């Protein structure tokens, strides 16, 4: 069943002023429960505006959004509950830490949900473990932590609300390669363990290719496509024309194919490329014999 559905979703900024801009244009989308979705699009393509609709931060100019079968904005009193279902982690979430201790900061969301202290405690310990924050850090001020740790505490604070949908806007930006792999690996583990729906907004095609099961591409305020990585990266030249860089490895195999190397498959991760190359070389050797 679709956990997220939009119908003719349209949003216009600054309507009636000279700065009027259609940021999301008639988007129809249906995302099934349990998907790991990579969201890509160039700056200004409307992807941030789109995700802000999914937990009711923005109200559509026209069209509608359904979360878990329930239409948003029909009854404003229901918005609070719906927001608990859709957790949104903004870009650079470490700037949103504010509590005295790491423990209290992670507890803030669950506390607002009115959970019991035992349940809050269980969730804090569980999510801290998932994002690799040791319990020794619980009594420290979040401001004493390193940048990467701060970011993981901020993400844990949203995960602890156990939202059915977790949306992360560029969770790895500004991190070094190891920090990036760590945080994305933890998000993938969370997805595997909780079987929740995850939307990962990213500028890095390499990261999206490595982690996502489906890819959503926004272009000029419209939904360009929502499909599997294989089908999305098959449109490498269209994506490049939109200012999106396909993974380096995808470009290499496209060029090999054009040179007559008979690749025959869409390549978007290094591991897949390795296995494919070995298979192709084997085939060539067998032909020699």
Binding site for another protein (CB under 8 A): 42-44, 146-148, 173-180, 203, 205-206, 243-245, 247-249, 251-252, 255-256, 259-262, 270-271, 273-274, 277-278, 280-281, 284, 287-288
CB of 118 to another protein, least distance (A): 35
Cβ neighbours of residue 63 closer than 8 Å, sequence gap 6 or more: 6, 7, 8, 9, 10, 26, 27
User: Which residue number, 91 or 228, has a Cβ lying nearer to another protein?
Assistant: 91
Per DSSP, the three-state class of 232 is helix
Nearer to another protein, 148 or 171 (CB): 148
Is residue 223 within 8 Å of residue 30, measured between CB atoms?
Answer: no
Q: Of 4 and 23, which has the nearer Cβ to another protein?
A: 23
166 CB-side CA count, 13 A: 24
- Spatial separation of the C-alpha atoms in residues 133 and 145, rounded to whole Å: 10
Four-residue CA torsion sign, 40, 42, 48, 53 = negative
| Shortest CB 235 distance to another protein, Å | 16
- 39 contacts 171 by C-beta, under 8 angstroms: no
Query: CA 207 to CA 188: how far, in whole Å?
Result: 11
**Which lies closer to another protein via its Cβ, residue 187 or residue 244?**
244
User: Looking at beta carbons only, is 136 or 288 nearer to another protein?
Assistant: 288
Q: Report the residue number, 77 or 178, with the smaller CB distance to another protein.
A: 178
| CB 43, min distance to another protein, A | 5
- The sign of the CA dihedral 10, 12, 16, 21 is negative
DSSP state of 76: G
CB of 129 vs another protein, minimal distance in Å = 22
Q: How far is the CB of 179 from another protein (least distance, A)?
A: 6
Q: Smallest distance, Å, CB 253 to another protein?
A: 8
Strands 2-13 and 21-32: antiparallel
């Amino acid at each position: 069943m679709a956990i997220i559905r939009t119908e003719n979703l349209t949003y216009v900024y600054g309507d009636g002023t000279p700065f009027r801009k259609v940021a999301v244009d008639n988007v129809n989308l249906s995302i099934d429960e349990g998907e790991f979705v990579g969201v890509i699009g160039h700056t200004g393509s409307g992807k941030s505006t789109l995700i802000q609709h999914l937990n009711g931060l923005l109200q559509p100019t026209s069209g509608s959004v359904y979360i878990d079968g329930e239409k948003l904005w029909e009854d404003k009193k229901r918005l609070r509950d719906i927001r608990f279902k859709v957790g949104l982690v903004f870009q650079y979430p470490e700037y949103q830490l504010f509590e005295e201790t790491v423990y209290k900061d992670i507890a803030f969301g669950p506390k607002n949900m009115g959970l019991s202290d035992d349940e809050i405690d269980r969730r804090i310990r569980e999510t801290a473990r998932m994002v690799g924050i040791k319990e020794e850090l619980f009594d420290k001020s979040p401001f004493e932590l390193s940048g990467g740790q701060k970011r993981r505490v901020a993400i844990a604070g949203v995960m602890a609300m156990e939202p059915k949908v977790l949306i992360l806007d560029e969770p790895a930006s500004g991190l070094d390669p190891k920090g990036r792999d760590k945080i994305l690996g933890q998000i993938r583990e969370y997805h595997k363990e909780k079987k929740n729906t995850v939307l990962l907004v990213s500028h890095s095609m390499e990261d999206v290719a490595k982690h996502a099961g489906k890819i959503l591409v926004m272009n000029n305020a419209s939904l360009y496509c929502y499909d599997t990585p294989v089908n999305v990266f098959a449109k490498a030249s269209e994506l490049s024309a939109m200012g999106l860089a396909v993974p380096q490895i995808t470009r290499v195999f496209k060029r090999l194919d054009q040179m007559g190397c008979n690749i025959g498959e869409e390549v978007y991760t290094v591991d897949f490329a390795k296995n494919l190359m070995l298979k192709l070389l084997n085939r060539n050797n067998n032909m020699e014999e």
